[in-house]
Chain A
Amino acid sequence: MSTDALYQELILEHNRKPRNFREIPDADRTVEGRNPLCGDSLKLWVKLDHDRIADVSFMGSGCAISKASASLMTGAVKGKSREEAEQIFDRFHRLVTGTLPESERESLGSLRALGGVAKFPLRVKCASLAWHALHAALESKVESVPVVSTDAEGGGPGEGA
């Protein structure tokens, strides 16, 4: 599997110029997402308008996949209801793990650029980090929660002696 399929131009472009890469001073929720294996971390800000995501932003350090995924995610969920956002996450997760049928792909729009991740199981965690943070932000009643991505999405490339 060629890495060209993984690093599509849209991903490289979002890595260079991530969208919504800023703080939201009056955010309702802030979440820190960390990948303990590689040390990558990002912070997510969510501003809610009742049930709707009025604004969402992130900052942090990480690989191109995690950064582009976070950037694309902010664009995809802004203005969406919690339920809609969770539905997108579900489809996105199936996309990057290679279980999303062709018929459902269309609805993901530019998030489809991350479809190449499915062929690189070690990188699923990178692509999912921001989404796990968003999920935690939408779930939590408290203002700030840390989320650590330790799910069974394959070992990270970063741990080690």
Chain B
Amino acid sequence: MIVDRKDFPLLAANPELHYLDSAATSQKPRAVLDAMLEYYEHDNANPHRGAYALSARATERYHDARLRVARFVGVKDTDRLIFTRGTTESLNLVATAWGRTNVRAGDEIVVTGLEHHANFVPWQQIAIEKGAKLNIARITSDGRVDIEHFAALITPRTKVVAFPHISNALGTLNDVATLSAIARKVGAVVVCDGAQAAPHMALSLDQLDVDFYAFSGHKMLGPMGCGVLVGRRELLEAMPPYQTGGDMIEYVGDERTTWNVLPHKFEAGTPNVGDAVGLAAACDYLARVGMAKVREHEHAMTALASARLSEIPDVRVFGPPPDVRGGVASFTVAGIHPHDLATILDENGVCIRAGHHCAQPLMRRLEVPATARASFYVYNDEADIEALVAGVARARELFGAVA
């Protein structure tokens, strides 16, 4: 591990726990919890409203949180960083506010077979609503986007292309520049689901050729309920709002309303200052560790886990080689359903995810109903992987597999 396990109260209180489900949500360091508590104890008020010093402090804390998160992901124009509830809301915002205005009957939308439901269902629904066509790029047998097929799907009718930076189910690390370049040839808008990338690798979003990039705070040591959408300024300015109400207006007439400037136009209602402060503290914590080191550590964990699991008979590890994979080991054990495996591992304190990982179209393409998924983060080490491997061996014994 590359952090002190004692930094994480939940892990410190459960020394026997092998938490291998960070792709679902991460544990939280004391620094994040303290920052949120400190905000509520000292600076809490409704920001952007009150004409008193406390409200001004809350406003300042919210503004400061935005600056720190923006710096962490390499965004200079902080107005184009919108706080949302998480990746799902960020992507729904794009599909709804941008999609409803720009996608028309006969248009085409391209997604990949790797998609999490959050970057699939919103596009599917917009396609149904508008009479557009949703095309799904095939994946290769080792879980990468089939670039040839992807390129063939992109035509002058393609309005938007959506793909994950890193697949949540398999860990596949996509080459964003390559995929974007293909989409740009026809002038399509590029939407990238960064939920599994922002927590695990250094990002320079100003340099990344995408129009919209979404991620969640809770997967990167931050609190649940706070995420981010980074959008291209021209697009955000031209789009209608996603939700309407307080804070996002400039002037409300009886007949018409004008919108506040970015980023407020997309942040209707009282902002989630406490969680934004927590997310900023999480970014600071990760920056201190160093994102290059995070990636290097997870690469080592993934390589070790894949190698150790592959030594077990009847185990199949999915996805591309660890060099092009995030901190995820998705696997099946012949004759043992992933749910049963998860229950047996749980007895040994090993927490893994079992199921379709909100990626049913992908599971259909892999021709499995579900997989078991171990995912790694800064607080995991070799002992976690050995506990995983021992648990899989025990499950095989229990289910009567012949060694």
Contact = CB atoms under 8 A, between A and B. Distances in A.
Interface of A: 1-4, 6-7, 12, 15-16, 37-41, 61-65, 67, 120, 122-123, 126, 156-161
Contact of B342 (A12, A16, A157): A157
Contact of B399 (A7, A122, A158): A7
Contacts of A122: 343
Nearest to A39: B356
Nearest to A4: B398
B347 A160 contact: no
Nearest to A41: B369
B356 A3 contact: no
Interface residues of B, number: 32
Interface in B367-402: 369-370, 398-400
A7 B168 contact: no
A63 B337 contact: yes
A39 B340 contact: no
B23 to A, nearest CB: 7
Contacts of B292: none
24 contacts: A3-B344, A3-B347, A12-B400, A38-B339, A39-B355, A39-B360, A39-B370, A40-B339, A41-B369, A62-B337, A62-B369, A63-B338, A63-B340, A64-B337, A65-B339, A65-B340, A67-B337, A157-B342, A157-B355, A158-B354, A159-B358, A160-B24, A161-B23, A161-B358
A54 B343 CA distance: 36
A61 B367 CA distance: 12
Contacts of B356: 38-39, 158
Nearest to B118: A161
A159 B340 CA distance: 15
Nearest to A6: B343
Contact of A38 (B168, B347, B355, B399): B355
A20 to B, nearest CB: 19
